[in-house]
Amino acid sequence: MNRPIGYWIKRLDAALEAHLDRTLARLKLSRRQWQTLNVLAEAPLSPEVLDGVLSPFWGGDSRRREAELAALVGRGMIIMVDDRISLSELGHAKHTEAHRLVEDSRRDISMGIGLDEYAMAISVLERMTLNAERLAP
């Protein structure tokens, strides 16, 4: 049966969520905590900018966002420095560990998919997303 792209996107997202949560559970991290560490590994950000970058992952769920960030603060992985959220030394170490696991996981998930195919899929999804966002009220 030929399914529309929305079906495959939702199914892929659910499968990625489950797989990455299982993978990251070894480090006692959720997928969203990993995404937060990964974004902050590039540079410290203001809370507003971090929120904007990660908003697609929160799905409008402010309680979940607060709980995930509070968990990272409580475990000493993120800190405030000069009004910006930053990784602590522990956060950098945990990011390095998680990055290795996530890269291994990505390699497994994209097995049999060429770099050109992957790049094309990303390009198509990005354009469709921008079109849909432009058309949304």
Q: What is the pLDDT of residues 9-58, one digit of tens each?
A: 999 999 998 999 999 999 999 989 999 999 999 999 999 999 999 988 88
pLDDT for 61: 76
Contact 76, 90 (CB under 8 A): yes
Residues 102, 112: Cα–Cα separation, whole Å:
18
- Give all strands (DSSP E) within the chain, no chain letters: 78-81, 84-87
Instruction: Record the pTM.
Output: 0.81
Amino acid at 49: V
pLDDT average, residue stretch 85-94:
97
Residues 91, 95: Cα–Cα separation, whole Å:
6
